[in-house]
Structure 1
């Protein structure tokens, strides 16, 4: 196996080599290839967003399974390590924007690629909308606004509009803002966690015993507790989704075939370490269980207040919100590149609109507007039916995990067909390990998808997911089928129709 985390010392970043590779796939360079190693890492790290994961997932995990829920992160980490091996293997061989569509398209075919692409797109849109909704609630708490649901929705739309404007300005500006958010996360948020740990462990009365990390459930209730613990694991699992997001900007990344696999591993490792540190510290730092329970919407803020006071809590929450904003920004960035990539192959309705690239900032402008529009529609749907709104948001994890499952199926089919491109010197390659790793990944993602459909906590997810599949299937057998049959869609469309 060629090590993707090292590269020859004489190799230099080259946009020319990457542009030539892009031409081999039938496209010419239209996007701005300016994303370096730091920005690539920051994009993957921001999409995962350790702070967002902890601030939004801590309560659900702790109130479901108690202190031992922190160990579920290691279970999620093992699954995502396997996925990162697969994603690194493919990104080094097929460095194209819209990886979830392009990888399957090149390995298996356009019909299956439509499903992986739409599933990923649904996951990104629902995910960023949900994070925007949560962020608006934290903003209200931070500034002391008395917000009802309508006000929270309007603030969330405003947040999404800000992220849209940043993305419209261009990838250089978007990644710069994202880099700032990630830097604040690494310095301030992690620093605050260390401060809370120092204060909490300065006296035995300031923290819970370490044993709370290993005890949960009542005697005779072990089976029920195991189910609760597994349900709690889905929070940390959701917190690691998106480690491969930097592959969506492969056509904007310098030396993409070597940089992207490396930054995937860096982003995953940093996220696991930081999330685990934060989970452990905040569980042990709980002084008043009842107060934390009462503050179920913002338990981390309450724990910091208990240990360091309300001023420090407000500062940390304010900085954490910039991290959450960076997470939304990164989600929009990768979703628009996926939309552009599929539209470039004429795979979507109104593809001629979504594939437009601004000649000035080299950004898929209308795709950015489209993401904002869909997110706004989802937010406004909460005014009609709050239950339907949260069911749609719940699709985010399930849709992405289903995409991972189908992508892994494509890897196994591609291996059998011999459609996986040969590795290039100095790039990541799984080699003979590809099949056994893919089989393990297939089992893991099937289990996660089943949990997200059948566990009582996720009742209703399956119906929304089925509805999405039906809509994609209808488009596949109607408009798209005709396009593919006539050569008006698919991986050769851009090359043969002059839209490359």
Structure 2
């Protein structure tokens, strides 16, 4: 009888929850969150953030036009690269299961200044990504509702999706978890159903087409074309870190979150490859896509396969995926902003660290994760070109945040850090860490590589320029307002004390 009374939250016990609280207390925190998120809900949060349907449907036309059918191999290569990053993150979150993800991880691995910059870049990238997701969903919602797709209708629909996402997040962890599970279920069923139907009824090619570039490279080498096409994988494979952003809302986070991160890559990657395969084999005229005669091959395929009404049903599933993605992104951004505020690391911390005891959410951090993306979306009314330039930073910023943690983990490891959480790689830790860093650097170079030689230099290098601007503003802020020094919460404690006297100034 006593055993039954102690059961709570997906089979965890009160004793286990007390253990989670004790671990967090040892790290210097007392959580106000409730551990209401089950292991599958935590995985679903990462999956819907990664959102293979959103990623593939958004980038399929570009990738196919750039590299032809072999672009599908870019998805697999990037998936393996990001798996290495996820393994490094798994070790870190197992030892430091603190809400906010990359910021608290960088804080414990390196120091306050380094953590501040890591969190700054990643937070800006999340805000921009939220804006890009809801703006990208705007035309789909307009089509489903029967509106003419225009800047105004796109803005109205995007703001509507953002408002709905914010409301769902405001309802608390249980509703967030339920929304993530619903989003995952809808997306995986939709991906499988659409994929199998296309393979059964719309297949125009055999598997050998996956090795035929259809001369997509033109006068360039195919490596150049494949690098551009593989951006579909580079832009797709993040989201697994969201599982760790809500570490204080998951029971037994050190054991469960690493599993959720890996599942996000395995299942999300498999779904993305399957959908891409079905779409590639269903494109009747691949040369027309490469020659830009068919710029919306996904719409063409769906209309041919399902008819006008059926295509709208599929678009409805796609919209659920967009909404779920926005919800997960907003949850991640709000937890990072709250973590920043809790450590008094940024202006406005007094508001950002406020917590609703009724809803068990940080309300002002959530509002920030709605207001800034809304301002970015509304900016397209003034200039769609400006919006494009802002959004170009999204993926690069996330990769910078990732690689700053990977670099900090490698540095800490070389200084004697021996991961002591429930998940660790053992002797494989160092080679995996080095591989993750190499992959991330190569991916960022590929993102920044200039591919529009006829455009002005600032457009040709827009991804790099946007990154420099965000980092530059962050450094300027650090020099003017020393927020990083306002808190004495633990930092740089992953490295054994005997190694810390040689640390660089960035540790402080």
- Cα displacement (A) at 1:142: 2.0
Query: Which residue of structure 1 lines up, in the alignment, with residue 367 of structure 2?
Result: 369
Change (3 A) 1:160 1:110: same
- Cα displacement (A) at 1:211: 2.9
C-alpha distance in 2, partners of 1:336/1:234?
A: 27
- Cα displacement (A) at 1:11: 8.4
2:450 to 451, 455, 478: 455
8 Å contact from structure 2 (residues 71, 226) kept in 1: yes
Query: Which residue of structure 2 lines up, in the alignment, with residue 446 of structure 1?
Result: 441
1:103 to 94, 102, 105: 105
C-alpha distance in 2, partners of 1:220/1:341?
A: 46
Matched, 1:256 2:258: no
Which has the higher mean CA deviation after the structures are superposed, 455-464 or 62-71? 455-464
Change (3 A) 1:25 1:319: same
Query: Which residue of structure 2 lines up, in the alignment, with residue 305 of structure 1?
Result: 303
C-alpha distance in 1, partners of 2:435/2:318?
A: 35
What's the secondary structure of 1:263's corresponding residue?
helix
Query: Which residue of structure 2 lines up, in the alignment, with residue 127 of structure 1?
Result: 129
Query: Which residue of structure 1 lines up, in the alignment, with residue 165 of structure 2?
Result: 163
Query: Which residue of structure 2 lines up, in the alignment, with residue 398 of structure 1?
Result: 396
Change (3 A) 1:11 1:252: closer
What does residue range 323-334 of structure 1 map to in structure 2 within 5 Å? Answer: 323-334=321-332
C-alpha distance in 2, partners of 1:32/1:12?
A: 14
8 Å contact from structure 1 (residues 345, 492) kept in 2: no
Q: How many residues align?
A: 471
C-alpha distance in 1, partners of 2:405/2:476?
A: 21
Q: Residue by residue, what CA displacement relative to the aligned partner does 1:384-412 show, whole Å, maximum 9, x if unpaired?
A: 22222111111111001111221111012
Indicate the RMSD between aligned Cα atoms, in angstroms: 2.1
Q: Residue by residue, what CA displacement relative to the aligned partner does 1:308-331 show, whole Å, maximum 9, x if unpaired?
A: 323322211111210111011000
C-alpha distance in 2, partners of 1:223/1:135?
A: 34
Matched, 1:431 2:426: yes
C-alpha distance in 1, partners of 2:446/2:285?
A: 32
Report the TM-score when normalising by structure 2. Answer: 0.88
8 Å contact from structure 2 (residues 245, 335) kept in 1: yes
- Cα displacement (A) at 1:490: 4.7
C-alpha distance in 1, partners of 2:131/2:65?
A: 24
- Cα displacement (A) at 1:234: 1.0
- Cα displacement (A) at 1:88: 0.8
C-alpha distance in 1, partners of 2:426/2:13?
A: 25
C-alpha distance in 2, partners of 1:490/1:141?
A: 52
C-alpha distance in 1, partners of 2:234/2:179?
A: 26
What's the secondary structure of 2:375's corresponding residue?
helix
Query: Which residue of structure 1 lines up, in the alignment, with residue 205 of structure 2?
Result: 208
- Cα displacement (A) at 1:382: 1.6
C-alpha distance in 2, partners of 1:262/1:160?
A: 30
Structure 2 stretches lacking a partner, 5+ long? 1-10, 453-459, 492-508
What's the secondary structure of 1:97's corresponding residue?
coil
